[in-house]
Structure 1
């Protein structure tokens, strides 16, 4: 069974692959699904909130 990104339909072998992809390429927090304008804001959010 494959896993697909709901934003761009990229496919992965595992759910963890999708989670990593979304965080890296769509700047969405894997913990709370909050979206950010860029990777720097996402990193700051993760360090401060999770």
Structure 2
């Protein structure tokens, strides 16, 4: 029961991993959390069009 993953699924997985990485770094560098949020909003806007 393997479903073919679309490119969007890979992008979302990659994005989630990036956010987790930013959050882990953000514990030490809080400004990175805001950077991650900003990138997330930009990413969402690009891919909802």
TM-score, normalized by the shorter chain, greater than 0.5: no
**Which structure shows the higher helix fraction?**
2
**Which structure shows the higher strand fraction?**
1
Q: Which has the larger radius of gyration?
A: 2
